[in-house]
Structure 1
Amino acid sequence: MDLIYTSTRNSDEKATASQAILKGLAGDGGLFVPDSLPKLDVDMDTLAKMSYQETAYEVMKLFLTDFTEEELKHCINSAYDSKFDTEEIAPLVDADGAYYLELFHGATIAFKDMALSILPYLMTTAAKKNHVKNEIVILTATSGDTGKAALAGFADVPGTKIIVFYPKNGVSPIQEKQMVTQKGANTHVVGIHGNFDQAQTGVKKMFSDKELAELMDKAGYQFSSANSINIGRLVPQIVYYVYAYAKLYENGAIAKDEKINVVVPTGNFGNILAAFYAKNLGLPIAKLICASNENKVLFDFFSTGTYDRNREFVLTSSPSMDILISSNLERLIYRIAGNDAEKNAEFMRALTEEGKYMITDEMRAQLADFYGNYTTEEETAEVIRDLYEKTGYVIDTHTAVATGVYHKYVKETGDNTKTVIASTASPFKFTRSVMDAIDKEKYDSMTDFELVDELSKIANVTVPQAIEDIRSAEVLHKTECDVEDMPKTVKAFLNI
């Protein structure tokens, strides 16, 4: 029986998994969600002995039911190969009482690689399956990491083009350098004069612009997305939570069926939603701990039941989380609204028109598995320094936000359940912020790449290839535009 996907805003819009991957976003601006959440059909003793690739197949086959075994295994084995610098793909590190799930060993040293390494294969397979004749134009907004991971994944993939918009002054210098030096005849990168939310809203508007869609179709193009609004991004993220649990069990760190807590640094809500889906598959997860930075819109939502983006946008040292409109939260809202597309559409309309919505007490009661908190900039730096001084282990700013919230949760609740912290980026991606946190006075006068070498020395970790590659790389993308000119910029790239 194929699993069918439905738009969160229109229960009449249905798609198979491959169609949902191709579309990215539903025609009405809604997100595709599975009509029901399947259950894992492999026992933990079997999973414990599996490789990452084998685990990926067992999880993804439950969601991508119109892919054949051969197609899905081809996508998985093409994605999770030597482009990752560790054999385990997602290793676990035990440091100071928590297990850090390192999700940054791919080509662009951030967790986005975990899904964006496979998305191009899923998408080209889906295009063949659905007899798509048009060239697919991947249109993506990034707060820093998705952009580079998507560019690397889709560079020179036949039948595709990719256009990435990022906030010109809202990403780290390393993140920007990674994007603007990207090679590939089909790649385009644009710095917008605005923030990530404006980039994301601009992209969503283009997806629902019927006139633009007709123009594109005439020219032989159609849009799809590499953002986590695409179900083809979300499903691969479920895998690493299942894999992490199985490895902890295999290593004797947890007993069979013992519950764990999971902490996720969260901006767009996709990564923690994947953990929520893993829990619903039957994985023994107790609490889902949602960690925010000073843009604490999600913390306020979990505390009050009101989602309110009407606030100052703060630029922090964890820029991938500098987000006030958490797109993937819509999938959770739809679910706790009883899969009621009409009700969900009303909430999303209120968010667009008034900048906020309030969920019912009934809906709030269904969020008991979640805990939200945030860390300040000062606390984030303290966490990095403290962990390094205690253990020699160096984490990036986003992972530090998660660690800070984890400490607050334990202090507040006394809950000492074994915990996995999603470590979402390499410290090398945010070198200056990380080294400033460790010893600002000592490192202040060094250049970004001198800091890279110093970090390698103090953490006793080899400089990742992704960083070596951009040391002297030529800047290839110099386009900038105002928010309102995003559609014009896309048309210029596509000559339409």
Structure 2
Amino acid sequence: MDFRSTRSSEKVSPSYALLHGLAQDGGLYVPSVFPEGVLSYTDLKNKKYQEIAEVVLSYFFTNFTDEERKTMIENAYNDVNFADSRIVPLHSIDTALSITELFHGRTLAFKDMALSLFPYLLTAAKKQEKEDREILILTATSGDTGKAALEGFKDVEGTNIMVFYPSMGVSPMQKQQMQKQEGNNVNVSAIHGNFDDAQSFLKRVFTNEEVNAYANKKGILFSSANSINVGRLLPQIVYYVSTYVSLVDSGCIEEGEAFDVVVPTGNFGNILAGYFAKKMGIPIAQFICASNENKVLADFFETGVYDMKREFFTTASPSMDILLSSNFERFLFYVAGADSAKVAAWEKDLQETGKMAVSAEELKSLREEFSGGWIDDDETRAVINHVYNDFGYLLDPHTAVAYGVYLNRRKQGLAQRHTVIMATAHPYKFPPVICDALALGQKDNPFDMLETIASCTGIYLPKALAELEMKPVRFANTMEKEEMKQAVLSFVDAIHAEHM
């Protein structure tokens, strides 16, 4: 399996794509020939999550042997990294709705699903490419990716990681997780700006010849832990495949029966992984893209116009506060019928004008599989309250957005099939929102709020958060977004000095 750029005919090996993240032309890597229709329930039944992962990833990372992939997967998905032996348990709300819980990893967010495996993939790719430079992972985060990447790569030999996050755009608990990160090879900085500012800067770094030449002179290669990297994106396919197997095994649907998924969406990687699962043979009928007030994606699926020239909102679901969704480019590649020239033109329009549009015919075609919806913060809190009081189930604000969009579709008579909501984070990562939603009152200390929520709900405090309060703050700095380049170069110098 080779990988190609979304913007040109450039082709590279899986190990090269893993190491470099972004294509040289600024595009994203996708499989050169996608493995369509290769999965069926018959081949997957009776398999554990790890075994399903071995099947799925064997189609993409063909540069590794079966035994190498198996070892990496077993090291990633075990009881050390995940609190539930099922890895992604399925929770049924009623006969028409199930929730896939993606938050049982070390950092309590769905980003753990890929970032538990990605360090093994990257380390193996580095060895395979005979790359002797130190790797510097540069990552932008809207909340969850940063902590998951930091935890995945902390003290991994030959790698270093630097994370940027918006100072006012993450929850108090997400901020605590990053500011108190352990590890000798990590660096974390807040910026005065939003996620799009951080992400756009890092994309420019990856294609900046001057900065890359400087890093290379210091013996350092840049890479990414954002879902622009195939090592982040492709492992996410596995939990959609696992969800299908669990739905059939539990009697929610019959073998081969179609179902819908609702995905709270910011950077479009999670929902794109589901689309890839469908292309591989999983019978997903509709993908419902759930947005908060930053509803650029929901609007696109309504109008066919992606317009990021709009007001940016800081919301109760901060991981979705994104206007420039990186993985959307990969989706456009398939909308365009793998026409890289068309994708390049669309991306140029987006960069120069802040807008791009598909044709009426293309919109009609993609709406056969995709639709969008959104709710605001007041509705998000109301959904959390409703689901907890009616079902005794506590949602985080991102999953509540998806649930709210599902409820609106059901009111409109659009929810005709069994539907799965992809639950992306543990609710305890967002104590102020949960306290507001359950009318518990807010406190200055987020850990005091967690105690209040736990006393009210009886939901135990996860060990990862219980231990966090007493850890020291290591990274409290906040910089202007214009200072990010110098911060990266300074970290390059520090890494070089340590390893020279």
TM-score class, shorter-chain normalisation, is over 0.9
Q: Deviations over 1:400-427 (max 9, x none)?
A: 0000011112222343311110000000
SS in 2 for 1:453: helix
Name the structure 1 match of 2:468. 470
Answer yes or no: is the 8 Å Cα contact 2:291–2:320 preserved in 1: yes
How far apart are 1:363 and its partner, in Å? 1.9
Name the structure 1 match of 2:58. 61
* Structure 1 Cα separation of the partners of residues 194 and 341 of structure 2: 30
Report the residue type matching 1:351 in the other structure.
L
SS in 2 for 1:413: coil
Name the structure 2 match of 1:277. 276
Name the structure 1 match of 2:310. 311
* Structure 2 Cα separation of the partners of residues 366 and 36 of structure 1: 21
* Structure 1 Cα separation of the partners of residues 414 and 485 of structure 2: 51
Answer yes or no: is the 8 Å Cα contact 2:443–2:449 preserved in 1: no
Alignment partner of 2:485 out of 484, 487, 492: 487
Name the structure 1 match of 2:159. 160
How far apart are 1:94 and its partner, in Å? 0.9
* Structure 2 Cα separation of the partners of residues 41 and 361 of structure 1: 31
SS in 2 for 1:20: helix
* Structure 1 Cα separation of the partners of residues 364 and 443 of structure 2: 51
Name the structure 2 match of 1:110. 109
How far apart are 1:339 and its partner, in Å? 1.0
* Structure 1 Cα separation of the partners of residues 37 and 457 of structure 2: 38
Report the residue type matching 1:146 in the other structure.
T
Name the structure 2 match of 1:24. 21
* Structure 2 Cα separation of the partners of residues 445 and 192 of structure 1: 25
Name the structure 2 match of 1:178. 177
Q: Deviations over 1:91-114 (max 9, x none)?
A: 011114411100000000000000
* Structure 2 Cα separation of the partners of residues 166 and 414 of structure 1: 37
Aligned pairs for 1:336-355 (under 5 A) are 336-355=335-354
* Structure 2 Cα separation of the partners of residues 210 and 267 of structure 1: 29
Report the residue type matching 1:236 in the other structure.
P
Answer yes or no: is the 8 Å Cα contact 1:40–1:59 preserved in 2: no
Name the structure 1 match of 2:71. 74
How far apart are 1:56 and its partner, in Å? 0.5
How far apart are 1:226 and its partner, in Å? 0.2
SS in 1 for 2:467: helix
Name the structure 1 match of 2:209. 210
Q: Deviations over 1:185-213 (max 9, x none)?
A: 10000111111100000110101101111
Answer yes or no: is the 8 Å Cα contact 1:193–1:482 preserved in 2: yes
Name the stretch that deviates more: 354-363 or 396-405. 354-363
Report the residue type matching 2:105 in the other structure.
G
Aligned pairs for 1:282-297 (under 5 A) are 282-297=281-296
* Structure 1 Cα separation of the partners of residues 350 and 20 of structure 2: 23
CA RMSD between the two structures: 1.2
Report the residue type matching 2:12 in the other structure.
A
How far apart are 1:443 and its partner, in Å? 2.2
Report the residue type matching 2:139 in the other structure.
T
1:38 partnered with 2:35: yes
Q: Deviations over 1:272-301 (max 9, x none)?
A: 000000111110111101000000000111
Report the residue type matching 1:478 in the other structure.
A
* Structure 2 Cα separation of the partners of residues 460 and 48 of structure 1: 35
Q: Deviations over 1:218-263 (max 9, x none)?
A: 1110010000111111111000010011011112221111111011
Report the residue type matching 2:241 in the other structure.
V
Name the structure 1 match of 2:409. 409
Name the structure 2 match of 1:142. 141
Report the residue type matching 2:16 in the other structure.
Q
Answer yes or no: is the 8 Å Cα contact 2:380–2:400 preserved in 1: yes
* Structure 2 Cα separation of the partners of residues 260 and 37 of structure 1: 22
Name the stretch that deviates more: 52-61 or 337-346. 337-346
Answer yes or no: is the 8 Å Cα contact 2:21–2:230 preserved in 1: yes
Answer yes or no: is the 8 Å Cα contact 2:40–2:281 preserved in 1: no
Name the stretch that deviates more: 339-348 or 193-202. 339-348
Please list every run of 5 or more consecutive structure 1 residues that lacks an aligned counterpart in the other structure.
none
Q: Deviations over 1:52-72 (max 9, x none)?
A: 100111111111111111111
Aligned pairs for 1:333-372 (under 5 A) are 333-367=332-366, 368-372=368-372
* Structure 1 Cα separation of the partners of residues 432 and 400 of structure 2: 14
Answer yes or no: is the 8 Å Cα contact 1:393–1:459 preserved in 2: no
* Structure 1 Cα separation of the partners of residues 444 and 185 of structure 2: 36
SS in 2 for 1:473: coil
Name the stretch that deviates more: 72-81 or 143-152. 72-81
1:437 partnered with 2:437: yes
* Structure 1 Cα separation of the partners of residues 329 and 375 of structure 2: 24
Name the structure 2 match of 1:457. 455
* Structure 2 Cα separation of the partners of residues 203 and 19 of structure 1: 19
Q: Deviations over 1:165-187 (max 9, x none)?
A: 00011100100000010011100
Answer yes or no: is the 8 Å Cα contact 1:258–1:284 preserved in 2: yes
Identity rate, percent: 48
* Structure 1 Cα separation of the partners of residues 376 and 338 of structure 2: 35
Answer yes or no: is the 8 Å Cα contact 1:110–1:424 preserved in 2: yes
Aligned length: 491
* Structure 2 Cα separation of the partners of residues 31 and 118 of structure 1: 20
Answer yes or no: is the 8 Å Cα contact 1:39–1:281 preserved in 2: yes
* Structure 2 Cα separation of the partners of residues 36 and 365 of structure 1: 25
SS in 1 for 2:82: coil
* Structure 2 Cα separation of the partners of residues 455 and 445 of structure 1: 12
How far apart are 1:44 and its partner, in Å? 1.0
Answer yes or no: is the 8 Å Cα contact 2:442–2:449 preserved in 1: no
Answer yes or no: is the 8 Å Cα contact 1:18–1:67 preserved in 2: no
* Structure 2 Cα separation of the partners of residues 492 and 476 of structure 1: 17
Name the structure 1 match of 2:330. 331
Instruction: Please give the TM-score of this superposition, normalised by the length of structure 2.
Output: 0.96
Name the structure 2 match of 1:47. 44
How far apart are 1:42 and its partner, in Å? 5.1
Report the residue type matching 1:486 in the other structure.
M
Instruction: Please give the TM-score of this superposition, normalised by the length of structure 1.
Output: 0.97
How far apart are 1:446 and its partner, in Å? 6.7
Name the structure 1 match of 2:398. 398
Name the structure 2 match of 1:420. 420
Name the structure 2 match of 1:228. 227
Name the stretch that deviates more: 385-394 or 43-52. 43-52
Name the structure 1 match of 2:122. 123
Query: Structure 1: which 4+ aligned runs deviate by more than 4 Å?
Result: none
Answer yes or no: is the 8 Å Cα contact 1:263–1:419 preserved in 2: yes
Name the stretch that deviates more: 26-35 or 410-419. 410-419
Name the stretch that deviates more: 28-37 or 124-133. 28-37
Report the residue type matching 1:432 in the other structure.
P
Answer yes or no: is the 8 Å Cα contact 1:106–1:114 preserved in 2: yes
Aligned pairs for 1:245-284 (under 5 A) are 245-284=244-283
Answer yes or no: is the 8 Å Cα contact 2:40–2:282 preserved in 1: no
Report the residue type matching 1:289 in the other structure.
I
* Structure 2 Cα separation of the partners of residues 321 and 414 of structure 1: 24
